[in-house]
Structure 1
Amino acid sequence: MPLQSSKNRQLDGVRQENEEVEVVNQGIDENQVPEADVPPVTIESKQALQRKAQAKKEQQKKAIVEMDFVGTTYPGITVSAVTRDHLKVEHFEPRNEQTSAEFVAEEVEKCVICHSVENEQNEELIDCQGLMNGASRRMNCKSRFHQTCMINYNHGGFMFQYSARPECQNKLLCPLHSCVECSIVHKKQAAYVGAIVECLVCLRGFHTECVPVGAKMITVDIPSFERGFKLDMMVCPSHASLKSTGSNISVCYDCDEKDGVLIKCSTCLRSFHEACRETKQLDGQALDSTRCCFCLCADTVKVDTPVIARWRGNTFYLAITRDWKEYPKSQRSSATKFKTLGYTVVEWKKEGSKSILPISDICKLTTTNVKAAAKEVAEEWQEALNEQANNLPPVVYKEVLRTGQTSRYLNGKPPKTDERVEEVGICSCTGPNRCTTDDCIYFAMNNECPPECGRDGRICKNRNVSDKNLHPHIERRETLDKGFGVFATKPIQRGEFLSEYVGEIIDKAEKARRWDVIIKSSDFEVNIFMMDLKNGLTVDAARYGNISRYINHSCDPNCEVDITHIFVREEKNHKWYEERAYIKAARPIAEGDEITFNYDFDTNMKTVCYCEAENCTGVIGAADRRQRARKRQKAPKNAVQPTTSSASKRRIERTEEEQPVQKKSRTERTAPIAPNLLHSNRARPTAATPIEPRTVFAAPPPAPAPEVATVSPMAPRPQRRSQIRALEVRSRPVITGNIEYFDVFPYHSFPVC
């Protein structure tokens, strides 16, 4: 007998109920009025249920995006990683590489954070919109959570509100879809890109290239699922029970000072000052006074990282953490701790030999250690940091949420700030290049021609933005380390129109709101696409745009930003225009060249530049403006200064006393200074703190930001990138301290106590 589907069985049940109702009704008098009508039974299709569920998720996401952005108190006030109660492990041994587990039905219906169905706010549970990591087939994540619970969960710098916004992932995701290591170092875009390995025990995940040393990789079978379903997971090192096995370093790990009261960590080799601890509160409680922040917050060290490692009790040397596969095969059988949870392989930098150490006997080498090192070893240590800095997060190739051919207002209604122009009629321009010289009154006023100029067989070449033109010889491509970029497919001549800078036109209030999110996000990879117009309006291509949003910055750009005005409506004897920004070629561009322009930051942001031009300043925006200012100061007093008048105010006026104005094509006109451009080239890695995100922490005043952007812009190009990357190695800011005590230890070793 063939099996019935669940839908057929449901239909049969409905038919049977209807038949029973009909039989009962046969004995009822026709004149008798039934007490109540039986409501019709409706059956929703699977597709309808899915659409309804998707609509509900979109409503939940919209509500979270529109609410006030809370920001984070991490690392000043933070929480521990939450255990996974909804996944029950059958049995696990520290050296096992395979185990089985089951999803607990009762726990799956609870919040993964508070482990309850209801919270104090009586909020509805939200389904995670991510896919299960490490699964042998695509499967939805099992996590469910309350909105408030997830907003308050900030372990490892996780920010639920930020991931839900279009500026980040535009999804409601649990922490299992964000790499803890990348999030801690403020790579909040790359944190969600690439394969992630989940911890079997807690809500932590790491990129495959960010898996911490001391972790135990494990394959998990799920027997209740179909045959062959497996999960590639790990047990992170925070679940290893380890204690310090010897003496501690005799200086504070954070500030490198040995003065004051030093506290020896009871679970690792670090020593610290109470005042140097960034974290002040964990899980709502005061910190354990005997443990350092690294151990309390379960911070990690990646493979191929320079570390200070203990050698036989009381001596410390420079070493590099390595993968288990690099440990000599001939020694594996006798190594009792090989591939054991909480242990790692280290390669001694000087000798090249390898040892197995507990992770409590190593600590990450920092730039502060290098600055404090003796000259004999400082170069070697810096080289080790440079090598480690090449282990970069995945390149982020991020698509715009919505595409369009021209800019649009966020609320659909233009403000009453348009420019009014007296009626001048259709221009008298002729020839193949109509309306491209100052003889055209609209061109001379920096306005595009009205629609009638291009009618009745006339060809108008002064309506590029109005006609939504896009240069046919440009295309988007992936770059090696800057995300997407735009390139020329054929030669482009100087002055040619490339594209309108398309985005949402927002007012001051919305701009301030979006900037607030950027500041509080603490994201070094934040995508900023704001270009200021006049009258308090801004074009933002973060959520809506065209190919122009992918154009990267350069200190020696081949394109520039210009301003024009497009016709929007006509009232009586006046034409009304709106301001628009567009990109044009500043010089001839060869086939295959990348299209670039100068972002000209007008903020205190210190975003590292990777344009690799000969005149690269190393920093986007501020440094470039200072360099131009210095050149103007050095110029002779009688030198002709470049024009700085606004394009919107430039107007050609002729009188009888003036000499005839020479006709100029648009390519020969002096371009105005680019508008205030607040636009980040998706440069990777964005090493500097964009807008001092630490100012939003509720904890006591933290340590100053790392000196990432202080690298000399005059450093040779091959070295500057490695130097900048090396300065990123430190996951948290440190305070520069006394360096004299290192001078007496020239042979890689550290003082102990």
Structure 2
Amino acid sequence: MQNIIDHEIHKRYQNLTVIFRKNGSVATPHPARPKNTSVCIFCKNKGVSQLKQQFEDTQLHGETQMIELEDQIVRCGKVDGATKKQCPHRFHLSCISFATPIWKFNAQYLSLDRNQGRLWCPDHYCEICFTDGNQQFASRGQFMHEKNTVRAFHQQCVPAGYMKMENGKVEFKIYTEDRSAFGRARFNHTRICDNCGLHTGKLRNCETCTKSFHENCSRPGTQTHGGSKICNSCQFDCRFRIGDVVFVPGYNTFQVARVIPWGHFTPWPNRVLLQYLSSNRIGSAAIATVYRPAPRLCSQIYKSWVQLMYTKENIHHRVQREVRFVRDQLRLFSGARPDIPRPTPQFHDSYMTHPALRANRIAWKARPKFESHRYLALEQTINMGLGVFATADICENTVIGEYIGLTLSKKEYDRREELAKLSADQERKFYTMKVGAWMQKKNSFSMQSVPFYVDAAKYHNITAFINHSCDPNCEVEKEIVELKNGRDYEIIRLETSAVASKALKQQAAG
């Protein structure tokens, strides 16, 4: 019975019209792994949360607005696909809404039906992949968990600087609090902002690692490590993988190295074993003295590094080789992530309607007018993920299907777009197309057009996976149809603008 109640609360939460605004760049502590799973993992309280009033009286456009959902303690909605067991962790709606244990963690965005569909605790996201901006990818695959706190990592993303690892659990100390990890290390700071990749403007050096940052980019905290100003990576105790390419800043240079396993050596907490790629020399270093750039900024960081370190006068032949080597390593690293397969998508054969649109009396649940063409197949591409291919030649001007999905109101579409921007998810799903319906105005015989959107992120058929192309052979057309309720709606059909050849599939596979 309690699971049914929790399910309803999860559904109501993901459809809240208000947006909980918080600073996603200010860290909250990683919750300790609970021994009592009946209490909230964040506040350790079974009763009222300290954030109850802040949750129920949220700010919207500068005005306080009561939301139609009481702050309650609910169970994590993650169910293991193999064992069918549900995660035992519980949390208050207010605590999960305002918590940021991982950089840009936004529970409201992640609970949308296009993402997880329910509220998940941080124990089901790989911190390394999530921090890199791959929030969808971070929730897939098998995980290892930190022994003492609610933190998780892909089994392929073994975090560097661990203290102990056994039985699928890893253990480490927060390196900004582990003074023994620094020793007498002196930080050669990057002099490049870790958040925007630029070297211009007033930069501040992090006092607990080798990174630099603009204060208006980082909004650093002042509590950790004796009240010093620290970067985002140190606030969130961000880790990188064993196997990642990293950079050791020196005087006017970057030494390129790869993090390698300790092997027969005893792991030293918050230190890493490095193999320098230019000389194959092996040595250890404090994790705080190693620079691991954000993959999304690799291109900008390279440009800033070249402008900062070298001029036309001092770039001679040897230095040019070094610059090219760093450039190539940054390019490789920018696209590197573990190989975790994407689950096979489930196709639907009818439209679904969001509750907010049903309230406007303009929505429908109907089968599409055009069925998907029988010569279409979904297969993996080289660089673009899943793609649609022709299994046989399809003639020009042939309708190959209708774009279906969840129909949304403009207000709900805008809310989802704003949540996506706040979350900084690089894998946010762009599957929405704008259409319209025609309704009779109140107290009038004239008709008005009402815009709404078809979101194919979760409820979709094969047409949702047709990729953009610089040399397209398919185009989008809108058509007006009349349904049983007597209203006219726009639908989106896709048809070939050129012959869709089976040979293209063979070229992509090669």
TM-score tier after normalising by the smaller chain length: 0.7 to 0.9
SS in 2 for 1:108: coil
Q: Name the structure 2 match of 1:743.
A: none
Q: Report deviation, 1:264.
A: 6.5
Q: Name the structure 1 match of 2:156.
A: 209
Q: Using the alignment, how far apart are the partners of 1:503 and 1:262 within structure 2?
A: 47
Q: Name the structure 1 match of 2:171.
A: 235
Residues 217 and 159 of structure 1, relative CA distance in 2, 3 Å threshold:
farther
CA contact (8 A) 2:432 2:453 kept: yes
Q: Using the alignment, how far apart are the partners of 1:414 and 1:315 within structure 2?
A: 62
Q: Name the structure 1 match of 2:466.
A: 551
Q: Name the structure 1 match of 2:418.
A: 516
Larger radius of gyration: 1
Q: Using the alignment, how far apart are the partners of 1:479 and 1:216 within structure 2?
A: 39
Q: 1:195 aligns with which of 119, 127, 142?
A: 142
Q: Report deviation, 1:519.
A: 2.7
Q: Report deviation, 1:287.
A: 8.5
CA contact (8 A) 2:190 2:210 kept: no
Q: Name the structure 2 match of 1:692.
A: none
Q: Using the alignment, how far apart are the partners of 1:511 and 1:277 within structure 2?
A: 28
SS in 2 for 1:382: helix
Q: Report deviation, 1:396.
A: 6.8
CA contact (8 A) 2:222 2:230 kept: no
Q: Name the structure 1 match of 2:88.
A: 142
Residues 139 and 592 of structure 1, relative CA distance in 2, 3 Å threshold:
farther
Trace 1:732-751 onto structure 2 (pairs within 5 A).
none
Please, which runs of 5 or more residues in structure 1 have no aligned partner? 1-51, 87-103, 220-230, 418-463, 596-610, 613-753
Residues 166 and 236 of structure 1, relative CA distance in 2, 3 Å threshold:
farther
1:497 paired with 2:433, answer: no
Code of the aligned partner of 1:477: E
Q: Report deviation, 1:295.
A: 2.5
1:565 paired with 2:477, answer: no
Q: Report deviation, 1:382.
A: 0.8
Residues 371 and 544 of structure 1, relative CA distance in 2, 3 Å threshold:
same
Q: 2:327 aligns with which of 382, 397, 400?
A: 382
Q: Report deviation, 1:199.
A: 0.9
298-307 or 495-504, which deviates more: 298-307
Q: Name the structure 2 match of 1:488.
A: 390
Trace 1:335-350 onto structure 2 (pairs within 5 A).
338-350=266-278
RMSD: 3.7
1:281 paired with 2:221, answer: yes
Trace 1:376-415 onto structure 2 (pairs within 5 A).
376=319, 377-392=322-337, 394=339, 397=342, 403-405=348-350, 411-412=357-358
Residues 202 and 505 of structure 1, relative CA distance in 2, 3 Å threshold:
closer
Residues 291 and 564 of structure 1, relative CA distance in 2, 3 Å threshold:
closer
Residues 469 and 253 of structure 1, relative CA distance in 2, 3 Å threshold:
closer
1:364 paired with 2:312, answer: no
Q: Using the alignment, how far apart are the partners of 1:274 and 1:406 within structure 2?
A: 47
SS in 2 for 1:129: coil
CA contact (8 A) 2:27 2:235 kept: no
1:124 paired with 2:124, answer: no
Q: Name the structure 2 match of 1:69.
A: 19
Q: Report deviation, 1:414.
A: 8.2
CA contact (8 A) 1:277 1:293 kept: no
Q: Name the structure 1 match of 2:496.
A: 585
Q: Report deviation, 1:288.
A: 2.3
Q: Report deviation, 1:301.
A: 2.7
CA contact (8 A) 1:501 1:582 kept: yes
Residues 414 and 126 of structure 1, relative CA distance in 2, 3 Å threshold:
closer
SS in 2 for 1:322: strand
CA contact (8 A) 2:146 2:169 kept: yes
Code of the aligned partner of 1:378: V
Q: 1:172 aligns with which of 119, 137, 152?
A: 119
Q: Using the alignment, how far apart are the partners of 1:182 and 1:472 within structure 2?
A: 37
Q: Report deviation, 1:269.
A: 4.2
Q: 1:299 aligns with which of 238, 246, 265?
A: 238
Q: Name the structure 2 match of 1:3.
A: none
CA contact (8 A) 1:111 1:144 kept: yes
CA contact (8 A) 2:133 2:427 kept: yes
Q: Report deviation, 1:346.
A: 0.6
Please, which runs of 5 or more residues in structure 2 have no aligned partner? 53-69, 294-300, 437-448
CA contact (8 A) 1:395 1:481 kept: no
Q: Using the alignment, how far apart are the partners of 2:491 and 2:30 within structure 1?
A: 48
Q: Report deviation, 1:146.
A: 1.0
Code of the aligned partner of 1:112: I
Q: Name the structure 2 match of 1:318.
A: 255
CA contact (8 A) 2:404 2:461 kept: yes
Q: Using the alignment, how far apart are the partners of 1:315 and 1:578 within structure 2?
A: 63
Residues 364 and 493 of structure 1, relative CA distance in 2, 3 Å threshold:
same
Residues 279 and 198 of structure 1, relative CA distance in 2, 3 Å threshold:
farther
CA contact (8 A) 2:188 2:249 kept: no
Deviations 1:78-105 (A, max 9, x none): 3232222x2xxxxxxxxxxxxxxxxx3x
Trace 1:624-643 onto structure 2 (pairs within 5 A).
none
Deviations 1:20-76 (A, max 9, x none): xxxxxxxxxxxxxxxxxxxxxxxxxxxxxxxx343222211112112223254111x
Q: Using the alignment, how far apart are the partners of 1:65 and 1:559 within structure 2?
A: 35
Deviations 1:328-347 (A, max 9, x none): xxxx5xx5xx3222121111
Q: 2:38 aligns with which of 109, 115, 122?
A: 109
SS in 2 for 1:360: helix
Q: Name the structure 2 match of 1:639.
A: none
CA contact (8 A) 1:277 1:292 kept: no
Residues 131 and 503 of structure 1, relative CA distance in 2, 3 Å threshold:
closer
Residues 282 and 302 of structure 1, relative CA distance in 2, 3 Å threshold:
farther
Give TM-score, length-normalised by structure 1: 0.53
Q: Report deviation, 1:509.
A: 2.6
Q: Using the alignment, how far apart are the partners of 1:393 and 1:519 within structure 2?
A: 25
Trace 1:66-105 onto structure 2 (pairs within 5 A).
66-67=15-16, 68-75=18-25, 77-84=26-33, 86=34, 104=35
**Structure 1 vs Structure 2: percent identity of aligned residues?**
18
Q: Using the alignment, how far apart are the partners of 1:409 and 1:112 within structure 2?
A: 31
Deviations 1:528-572 (A, max 9, x none): 22212243233222342222112222121111111222233598x
Code of the aligned partner of 1:206: F
Work out the number of aligned pairs and report it. Answer: 448
Q: Using the alignment, how far apart are the partners of 2:419 and 2:392 within structure 1?
A: 40
- Determine which structure has greater relative contact order: mean sequence separation of CA pairs < 8 Å that are 6+ residues apart, divided by chain length: 1
Q: Report deviation, 1:238.
A: 2.0
SS in 1 for 2:96: helix
Code of the aligned partner of 2:24: Y
CA contact (8 A) 1:216 1:340 kept: yes
Q: Name the structure 1 match of 2:209.
A: 268
Q: 2:187 aligns with which of 223, 227, 248?
A: 248
Residues 72 and 486 of structure 1, relative CA distance in 2, 3 Å threshold:
farther
Residues 316 and 59 of structure 1, relative CA distance in 2, 3 Å threshold:
same
Q: Using the alignment, how far apart are the partners of 2:359 and 2:286 within structure 1?
A: 63
Q: Using the alignment, how far apart are the partners of 1:259 and 1:404 within structure 2?
A: 54
